[in-house]
Amino acid sequence: MLGVKVKNVKCKNEYTLEEFYDAIKGQRFSAGTPSLTKHGMGMVITFPPLDRQNQVWIMKAGLKERSSKFSVQKCEQAGVGNMAGNMALNELTGGLFGFFGVVGKNVKKCEQLVEATATELEAMSL
């Protein structure tokens, strides 16, 4: 999909998202320091955003409570307030706000941070 970068990470053990966060929260990554962020009705692990359209997220794969698979991906800035703001900006600009998340100056940098973060997670042998 255009503008989306996803790398999957396979762990040795199964974790809830919160347990996975606890396992990595003291580490420094290329994307920065991880945070646990409420987004919509769920939680995601996020790194400091480059801008409103480019942020590295970690999400648990699958519907089970625990998983050994996590995805590292490029997304819009997470957070309950940011989600509503991003939707409003996209509506007000007739879709141009979302378009710049695909072609803006930070897109390539965020994609590189997704790759680096996935590599760093794999090296942790969780």
The predicted-structure confidence for 70-125, as pLDDT tens digits, reads as follows 999 998 888 755 544 555 444 555 554 454 545 567 889 999 999 999 999 999 99
pLDDT of residue 52: 83
pLDDT of residue 40: 80
Q: What is the dihedral sign for C-alpha 69, 123, 37, 87?
A: negative
One-letter identity of residue 23: A
pLDDT in tens, 47-82: 999 988 899 999 999 999 999 999 999 988 887 555
The number of beta carbons lying within 10 Å of the beta carbon of residue 26 is: 8
| 102 three-state secondary structure | helix
pLDDT of residue 115: 97
